[in-house]
Structure formats: C-alpha cells, structure tokens
Structure 1
Amino acid sequence: MDAAAAKPSRIAVIGGGISGLAAAFRLQELAPKTEIVLYEAGERLGGVLETQQQGDYLVEQSADNFITNVPWGLDLCRRLGIEGDLLQTNDALRKAYVVCRGKLIEVPEGFLLMAPGKAWPILRSPILSWGGKLRLAWEYFVPSRKETSDECLHDFVVRRLGSEAYDRLVQPLIGGIYTADPKKLSVAATMKQFVEMERKHGGLIRGMRKRIASEGKSDGGARYSMFVAPRGGMSAVVDAITARLPSESIRLNAPVRSIDRQEDGPWIVTTDHGAETFDGVVVAAPAPAASQIMQSFDAPLASEVAKIQYAGCAIVLLGVRKEQIARPIAGFGFVVPEVENRRILATSFASYKFPGRAPDDSVLIRTFVGGACHPEMNELPEEELRKIVTEELADLIGLSGEPQLFAVRRWSAQMPQYHVGHLELVERIEQLTAKHAGLALVGNAYHGVGVPLCIRTAEQAVERLVEQLALGQVER
C-alpha cells in the first residue's frame, strides 16, 4: 500500500525504554501518517539506558555497549545517522579475566562462554586443575542428551564439561550477563546456540571445531572485538530516536493504568489524565507493569506475563587515578566465581574499553554487586557498598586511597530471569496476545535481554502490527 493511501490511525506505545523507542521509530518509518503516542511513566526516556556526565567522567548507569555479531543495533544506528559516532573497543586490551584462588587469571583464548575453541590455551591455564582439564576434554565423548525438555544451564554445563569448568569459568561468565541463578536459568532460552551445537554436532567441542572451520578463525575469549558504543555514551541512541519523533507524541510522567477494548472497537488507554482511543497498542513496559495494565482487559494473559520473574543488582562506580591501582590488568575487566566466596559479581574498567570515559590519568571502574543469588546485597547502604567494593578491589588489583568519583546505581527487579520453561511461557503469552488484533507485547522480558535483541523484537512486532492493521507502508 502506498503511503499516500494510508488511513488515519493512532497507535499507543506504552514504555519509553529502548524497546518502546525502537517500536515507535519503526512505526514512524513504516507508517509515517500514523499518529504515535508514547507513554513513559518516568521523567525521562531510555529506561535503564542512561549516560551521565559526572565531573570529568562519562558514566553509564547500566549497559555501556552493544554487540555487533547480530545486526539490529548497528542497523538502527545507520538509520538514525549515528553509525559514524560508534567506537570500537580498545584493541590492545580486549581481554577478560576471572578470579581464581584470589588471583586474576586471563580467560583462556577461544573459550566462548561455555565452549572451548582451542585446546592449548586451556591446557596452559591455571584456572582448571588437571582433573578439570581432563574432564573438560572428555566432553568430546559425552553422548548427546536424548530428551528434548528444557534444562537448566547448570545441569547442561556440568553434564557436558564437568563441575570444575562450570564453577571456575562458565558460572561467572554467564553470571556477568544475566545476574541470574544458573540452577534456574533455561539454557534453551539464554544460550540456544550451545544446545544446537549438541543436537547438531554431538557436543560443544565438535560444534566449535565446525564453527571455526566454517569461519576460518576462532572467536576471542570474551568477544570484546564485537562490542561498540556511541562516542557520547548509550544515551546517544535514545537521544537520536527522540529527536526523530514528534515532540507532541511523547508523554513523560504518564503511567498507564489500564488498557481495554470494546468488542471490535478501538483500544482504550487510561492514565491519570483520562482515557484515549487508539487503533493499536504496543506494550513495551516491563512484565510486572504490563501484567497490571492488562489485568482488567485479559486476566489470563496478564497472569502468564506476571510469571516472568525479575532480579536486580547494584553498580558501584569509582573514578580513581591510575597511580592508585598497584596491580593493573591489561583487560576490560574480570568476573568472580561463586566458589571464590567474594562479595562482588564482576568489575569492568569502562575507560579501558572506550576513550572519553575518564581523564587520561584516571580510570573509571564499575563493580557489580548482588544479583539473583545475593539479592540482599542490592539494598545495602551506599557507604557499606563503598567499603565492600574498595576492600575487594584493594585485594584484587591493589586499589588504595580515596576515589575522585563515587556513586551507586541500584537496579532493583530490572533484569528478567529466563527460568526453565521460559520458551513455553512466552509461546503461551504470544498465543493469547494473537487473539487481540492490534496488540503487541515487546521488551526484554520475552526474547532476549541485549539491546540489539530488544530492537529486533520491537521492530518485528511493529512490522506485524502495520500489516495486521493495514496501515500505510513505506519501503522497509
């Protein structure tokens, strides 16, 4: 259908995080005559994505980059005209470390989250004992699992690689991504590629060999070469989308209380300021909020959405002079295994990754505390968190003295937990959603927590909505 033939239409987007913003922008691209109203409960757009200038430091409050081995983040940046502002990570420091018996040891080259790509770096590494190395090598002979039911990440890894590889390598690496309990986490929902390796190739070592042969080279240990960030921080993506949307379409401090729909009639979105009617609704709010606003409209759907659980963490931000670090590492950061019995999850040296994050003589450090396994840590007083983090960093990297910058950012119940059965739960949610023409659910609660996956699922949902409602389309 030509854009000129587009019928007048209104679409509500509920939630102004990256998913809601990507949905609104894609809707504007595909159906430019459609009136968009974006409701955001808070006072700013971007959700957890937020960049702040704190003194001489450029500080990310959550994600500080996005991965490029999937195209959707890069593609959005191209369409927004900000691709030229994307920074590659520092080539010289593209390494990750893991705490091993109180020392920082480099993650073996070629070890991709839970799959060994190269034998020699693992054999040389002191992270695993010889017994652990032999058990990992035995993965080549471990038979494939015959059952097709979902399996938790812990059981999958222990079954294939052994307990020591799980404890010392996989648990901290995965924990750094999901801040989750691997004994509850669905491997099919979070690490599907490794499940497919087992099913298709018979195991992870076999699968990695096939992958390396097809690509002609191995992936680096933490794949940092595939991460980028805007020069001005992740808020640059938020600002670029916001600038492309009509200012009158954005409603801040406007929490949606409910959505409803009369039979074959318009959608009704109710806020504290009254009710408005729409041809379609994109719900991009976190699952708990989405469940609440759909409760009166479709209780079974709301009940299923409410089953998605969340966890949180606290990020302790420190700006220090380089001379305050007695034992600096040549890498972007380190992760901490549970078996080390420490009080932090991971530490990232943000100014090692990208330029412009700290003065030349200083380092911006982000340390993560809490997570699903230690929720009590998330809410500790700021001074106690400061004491914990500085003590841990003093022991691990020789940090001393007072920081130039200290701040704590708490993200309570912001990370969806893809527990065993998540894929089946999402399928039920989508079946119930499909009964309602003009309704779409998007966000990190369903198909992936990374920025590119949020963008992709939001854009796909909008494309389906545009076709479903026969809105005027332009070139895709």
Structure 2
Amino acid sequence: MRKTPYQVVIIGGGISGLATAYAVMEEVRKNQIEVQCTIVEQDTRWGGKILTHVTEGLLIEGGPDSFLTSKPWALELCRTLGLQDQLIPTNAQHNRTFSFCRGALRELPQGLLAFRPQRVDTLVSSGLLSWKGMVRMAAERFWPRPNPLSADESLAGFFRRRFGTEAFDYLIEPLVAGIYAGDADELSIEATFPRFRELEREHGSVIKGMRMAQAKAATTSHPPGKASTLFMSLRGGLSQLIQTLVQQLTERGVCLTAGVGCLEVQPPSQKSTSFEVILENGVRLSADAVVLATPTFQTARLLRSFQPEAANLLDGIPYASTATISMAYPTEAIGAQIRGFGFVVPRKEQRPLLAATWTSLKWPDRSRAGETLIRCYVGGRGRETVLEQDDQPLVECVRRELEAIVGITTAPKYAEIHRWIRGMPQYVLGHQERLAHVTQLLAAWPGVYVTGAGLYGIGIPDCIREGTKVGQQLIEDLSPTRVTHDSGRNVSSFQQ
C-alpha cells in the first residue's frame, strides 16, 4: 500500500489548468486518496486569456467578456464555487446586434444562430440580404444533401452549400467564424460546429432539425436555475472566477507556483518510475502524473523529447493573433450613435475591424455614470497585419473605423490594448483526425495528459469541461481500485 501522496503536476495556469486542478481535488475528496497537486504557470498572474482590469471607474476585459450558457460547464462551476449571486446577464433592454454590410449597420435577427429568426421582418427590412439571397436561404429546408457526406468539410463550404453564398457572407460568417477569429474556408465544420452536420445527416436540413429540436425543448421542463440569457458574466469581471478558483485551490493544499516556466518534462526511466518536471529556476518536480494545459505549440515542445510524432502533430495546429482595444468616451458625445450590444464586420467588407461591443450597454456597472466603454476586436487569420502597428497607431486605426462605421469623431478619454499573439487556435480541416492520432500515440505514456483550448473547444465552458474530464480520469487512473475506461485515452476528447 502506498505510504506517500501521489504527485500531480499541472503545467499551465489558465482556466484549463485551474479547472483540471479543481477536478483533481474534488475527486481526491470523493476517493479518499492522498494527492499533492502542483500547478506551474509561466506568467506572473493566473487565468491565461481571462484578464480583467479595473481602473478609473472602468471594468475592462482584456480577453473574453462572458461565457456561453447553452454549454453549462462554466455556469455550473460558478455556482459550485459560490458565485451564484455574482452572475449577471446581458442587458435585455439593449439586446440587438448589427452587421456592417454594404456601407451601413444592419440589424441581425435574434435567434439567427438557431436558424429560426424571431423577427423575420427584421431580416426583410434590414437590407442584409437581397430577395434572391433570402429565397435561397429559406430553400435550405428542401436543399438536397450529398450522398455520401464527406468525412469533413470546411465551415464555409458547409454553410454556402446549405444556405447560399450571400447568407453565408453577411449573416453566418461574421458570427460563427468570428468566434474563432479564423478563415471559414480553412476551419473544419466537424471540429467547430459538428451539430450542424448532425442535423443535416439526421433530418436532411439544418432548419428542419433545429425546429424539431426546439419543438421538443418547448415540451421539456427546464431545470431550476436555468440561465436567463445566452451569455453571462460576473459582477467583478471574469477574473473573479479565476481569483475564486485560486483561493479555493490554495485552501485545499494545492501548491500554486507562478512566474516560472517549465523547461522540460523527462519521462520515467530505468532509474525512476516517475516523471521529472524541470522548471526554469532549476527546481525539479517528481510526478506520478503530468498534465500539459498549455497552448499546443508549448505542449509540443514539452513532449518532443519522448514523443516527437505527437509533438509534431500538435505543433501543426495553427494559431491566429488578435487584440482587444477598449476605449472610454463621454456618453453625451457618442450616445446618439450607438445602439444595441454592438456590431460585427463580415470578412467580405475587407476592413481591419472584426467587431465592436458597446460594453456599457451590454453589461451593468462597466463604467461610471456619464462614461461609455467600447471594446473593439482586431486581427484574426489572414487579417493580422493590423497588429504590426504600435499601440498609438493601432488606437488611431480603430478610431478611424468607428468614425467610418458609426460616426464617432470624439477622442476617447482612455484607451487600453491587450494583444494576444498566437492566442486563438484554428481548428482547420483534419483537426479531429489529428487529435485522434495524438490520442493513440500518447496511450503509450500513461501518466501524461493534455488539455486546453487548442484541442476540443476554445470557449470557457469547453475548457472547463475538458479540464474536468482530465482531472477525473487522472484520479481514476491513479486510484488503486480503478476501473479502466473503455477509451483508455490520455487526451480529453468530449465532443462539442
């Protein structure tokens, strides 16, 4: 019987690594085994791309500003951590979104991503689509599907085939491709939105399938505590989730080491049955299990010495760079020009701006009375040259965009830029096959686990779900009474 605690080392202190550690400690409590868990983070702060900055009466989100509630894992974790009373919905009063199309902001119908617009008159009157484009989109219900379906298909190819080029360019592309800051002609539909392919496969039509699912949902009782809006945040910003996780992990005895990178992971050898994690400060950590919760190019570097083939596969996942530019304005100077939550810009418009959010209208208490906070989003796959500018020219570039699109000519009172170089993984064609091969290769190394946004979902709920699965599997694998999973996989692999 083991007399010393199992040693678990997690590399990466973003939401994926922290969620993994939390799941590990939850499973430790349930299984009553002794584990010493250590998290190592290269940066001096925790949270990865979740970054909230409070300054001068402004609450600025440098990374994501919310999480999706239709994927329940982030909402559930917030409630488990005792943050229920800190959850805030979007402002229903301003629940409108626009697309910059053919020289004007045109309203997007609510419910568009469910392919059941709640206001068809909005779609007709907005001028987003020509009559020909609207007829082609409506014809999706009767459009034949290929037989057989290809193993994979680009996101753009799928939506153009089902809904027509015009609907894809002006309605779908700026919404779904914008989530990944990617080029929809490169992104895999199976890796990004597999549900749409399932609907086509099962019902012959996305619209038919969506409507059947909605009709079924309407007759199903909803659990108590169901989210009131599609997106939610926290009163103190999303970093409140990170701070609470760090605090509770510390209280549970997890060792959190920030400001130190990992140089190398050495596998077990004839001399030692444990992994050895070598840090930049010279510290060597012995580990029974190692979780790599890092961007895939960093994970590849740490795997290369003992699993070069898996490392090459992970290193081949491309990443895009983006930036958020948050600016505060006197409300009286811009109030007449902004409405709704903000707008998106289709790639077809060939502008440097991807999207803009009227943060003060979307969320409560993000700015002081008399001030309006705006957040702009630039960069993305094939649109990254804008990021070559220094901060001041970049702010001026975004100001010119807001002047051209919305008519804002006033200078901001405050501006803050957050750059995310190689921050957005791209799930390009073949992504699923790539990960299946990685899973197969890592099966030869029990005790090595990989997770993170570069694998099976970039959103906060996805990262929490995958980290939780890895933490649960890890403890089951360590447990003396473990029951082997059928999958036997080291890579978290839950589908979206």
In structure 1, what is the Cα distance between the partners aligned to 2:381 and 2:117?
A: 27
Counterpart of 1:258?
264
Counterpart of 2:17?
20
Please give the residue correspondences for 1:407-426 in structure 2 after superposition, counting only pairs within 5 Å. 407-426=416-435
Please give the residue correspondences for 1:326-345 in structure 2 after superposition, counting only pairs within 5 Å. 327-345=336-354
> Helix, strand or coil for the counterpart of 2:321?
strand
Could you tell me the TM-score, scaled by structure 2's length?
A: 0.89
Please give the residue correspondences for 1:314-329 in structure 2 after superposition, counting only pairs within 5 Å. 314-325=323-334, 327-329=336-338
Please give the residue correspondences for 1:61-76 in structure 2 after superposition, counting only pairs within 5 Å. 61-76=62-77
> Helix, strand or coil for the counterpart of 1:69?
coil
The answer to whether the 8 A contact 2:104-2:405 is kept is yes
Please give the residue correspondences for 1:399-414 in structure 2 after superposition, counting only pairs within 5 Å. 399-414=408-423
Counterpart of 1:166?
168
Moved more, 378-387 or 290-299: 378-387
The answer to whether the 8 A contact 2:37-2:254 is kept is no
Aligned residue-pair number? 465
Please give the residue correspondences for 1:66-145 in structure 2 after superposition, counting only pairs within 5 Å. 66-112=67-113, 119-145=120-146
The answer to whether the 8 A contact 1:43-1:252 is kept is yes
> Helix, strand or coil for the counterpart of 2:454?
coil
In structure 2, what is the Cα distance between the partners aligned to 1:143 and 1:36?
A: 53
User: How far is 1:50 from its partner?
Assistant: 0.8
Counterpart of 2:493?
none
Counterpart of 1:36?
37
Whichever residue aligns with residue 358 of structure 1, its letter is: S
In structure 2, what is the Cα distance between the partners aligned to 1:208 and 1:60?
A: 33
The answer to whether the 8 A contact 1:94-1:224 is kept is no
Which ranges of structure 2 fall in alignment gaps of 5 or more residues? Answer: 220-226, 483-496
In structure 2, what is the Cα distance between the partners aligned to 1:381 and 1:8?
A: 50
Whichever residue aligns with residue 188 of structure 1, its letter is: E
> Helix, strand or coil for the counterpart of 2:455?
coil
User: How far is 1:259 from its partner?
Assistant: 0.9
> Helix, strand or coil for the counterpart of 2:311?
helix
In structure 1, what is the Cα distance between the partners aligned to 2:368 and 2:335?
A: 18
Which ranges of structure 1 fall in alignment gaps of 5 or more residues? Answer: 218-222
In structure 2, what is the Cα distance between the partners aligned to 1:108 and 1:346?
A: 17
Q: Is residue 240 from structure 1 mapped to residue 248 from structure 2 by the alignment? A: no
Counterpart of 1:203?
205
Q: Is residue 311 from structure 1 mapped to residue 320 from structure 2 by the alignment? A: yes
Counterpart of 1:220?
none
In structure 1, what is the Cα distance between the partners aligned to 2:175 and 2:115?
A: 8
The answer to whether the 8 A contact 1:46-1:235 is kept is yes
> Helix, strand or coil for the counterpart of 1:11?
strand
Whichever residue aligns with residue 150 of structure 1, its letter is: D
In structure 2, what is the Cα distance between the partners aligned to 1:210 and 1:354?
A: 33
In 2 relative to 1, CA 250–89 (structure 1 residues): closer, same or farther, beyond 3 Å?
same
User: How far is 1:325 from its partner?
Assistant: 1.4
Q: Is residue 10 from structure 1 mapped to residue 14 from structure 2 by the alignment? A: no
In 2 relative to 1, CA 22–326 (structure 1 residues): closer, same or farther, beyond 3 Å?
closer
Tell me the alpha carbon deviations over residues 40-88 of structure 1, each in whole angstroms, 9 at most, x when there is no partner: 0111110010101121101000001111112111111122111211111
User: How far is 1:111 from its partner?
Assistant: 1.2
User: How far is 1:472 from its partner?
Assistant: 9.1
In structure 2, what is the Cα distance between the partners aligned to 1:7 and 1:275?
A: 18
Whichever residue aligns with residue 5 of structure 2, its letter is: P
Could you tell me the TM-score, scaled by structure 1's length?
A: 0.93
In 2 relative to 1, CA 152–117 (structure 1 residues): closer, same or farther, beyond 3 Å?
farther
User: How far is 1:248 from its partner?
Assistant: 6.7
Counterpart of 1:435?
444
In structure 1, what is the Cα distance between the partners aligned to 2:424 and 2:339?
A: 29
Whichever residue aligns with residue 255 of structure 1, its letter is: G
Counterpart of 1:267?
275
The answer to whether the 8 A contact 1:326-1:397 is kept is no
Tell me the alpha carbon deviations over residues 165-219 of structure 1, each in whole angstroms, 9 at most, x when there is no partner: 11111111123211001010001111111111111111122122212322339xx
Counterpart of 2:155?
153
Structure 2 residue aligned with 1:465, among 471, 474, 479?
474
The answer to whether the 8 A contact 1:117-1:205 is kept is no
> Helix, strand or coil for the counterpart of 1:225?
coil
The answer to whether the 8 A contact 1:439-1:465 is kept is no
In structure 1, what is the Cα distance between the partners aligned to 2:75 and 2:169?
A: 34
In structure 2, what is the Cα distance between the partners aligned to 1:399 and 1:355?
A: 22
In structure 1, what is the Cα distance between the partners aligned to 2:241 and 2:84?
A: 10
Tell me the alpha carbon deviations over residues 95-142 of structure 1, each in whole angstroms, 9 at most, x when there is no partner: 211112121111023311767677554334310001111111221221
> Helix, strand or coil for the counterpart of 2:353?
coil
The answer to whether the 8 A contact 1:42-1:252 is kept is yes
Counterpart of 1:302?
311
Q: CA RMSD in A?
A: 2.1
Tell me the alpha carbon deviations over residues 424-462 of structure 1, each in whole angstroms, 9 at most, x when there is no partner: 111111222222211110100111000011000000011
In structure 2, what is the Cα distance between the partners aligned to 1:114 and 1:187?
A: 16
In structure 2, what is the Cα distance between the partners aligned to 1:118 and 1:231?
A: 31
In 2 relative to 1, CA 114–179 (structure 1 residues): closer, same or farther, beyond 3 Å?
farther
Moved more, 201-210 or 247-256: 247-256
User: How far is 1:228 from its partner?
Assistant: 0.9
In structure 2, what is the Cα distance between the partners aligned to 1:378 and 1:156?
A: 30
In structure 2, what is the Cα distance between the partners aligned to 1:97 and 1:176?
A: 14
> Helix, strand or coil for the counterpart of 1:414?
strand
In structure 1, what is the Cα distance between the partners aligned to 2:218 and 2:126?
A: 24
Counterpart of 1:45?
46
